[in-house]
Amino acid sequence: HGGKNILKKVVEASKSKNCKEQLVCATAVRNHFWYASKECGGDERKMKAIWFGILHHVVNEHEWLLNVDGTYGGCAHEPLYVENQCKPWLEKGSPAHLAHRNIVEDKRLLKNLGQYTNFRHTGFLESFHSHMLMYAPKRH
Ligand SMILES: [Zn+2]
């Protein structure tokens, strides 16, 4: 639900003036939230550090001085090659980047960040139910 809300906010923000570029990275932002939740290992500070990394990544900045938890600042992905890059980068300080920053640094989200550190989701249950339906359809 956290990821879904973030996606909704990014899509909503992309509708405002000069923020259309944001829409291209909307699902990537949601996926990054999932990634941060999964990789933090229950540590809220680490999750915040990973989550904030997207602010650098979207402006084509993949290394920075320090994370908010005091660790080395950098993306976890492999080096990017220009020819594989299909999404445009946001311009640092542009309206789209500022709108993006407001979503990432949303006070309410950061206050509740601790609730996402256990990476609990219903994906496995949904998968189980869809598997059950293969062998025991509801109409039989
Ligand atoms: Zn990056």
Domain annotation covers residue 111? yes
Domain annotation covers residue 140? no
Tens digits of residue pLDDT in 56-90: 999 989 999 998 888 889 999 888 876 656 678 88
Burial pattern 10-34, b for ≥16 Cβ within 10 A else e, equals beebbeeeebebbebbbebbbebbb
Say how many domains are in the chain: 1
Cα of 138 vs centre of ligand 1, distance in Å, is 45
Domain annotation covers residue 82? yes
Domain annotation covers residue 42? yes
Domain annotation covers residue 123? yes
Model pTM score:
0.82
Domain annotation covers residue 98? yes
Cα of 61 vs centre of ligand 1, distance in Å, is 6
Domain extent, residue 93, equals: 2-135
Cα of 41 vs centre of ligand 1, distance in Å, is 21
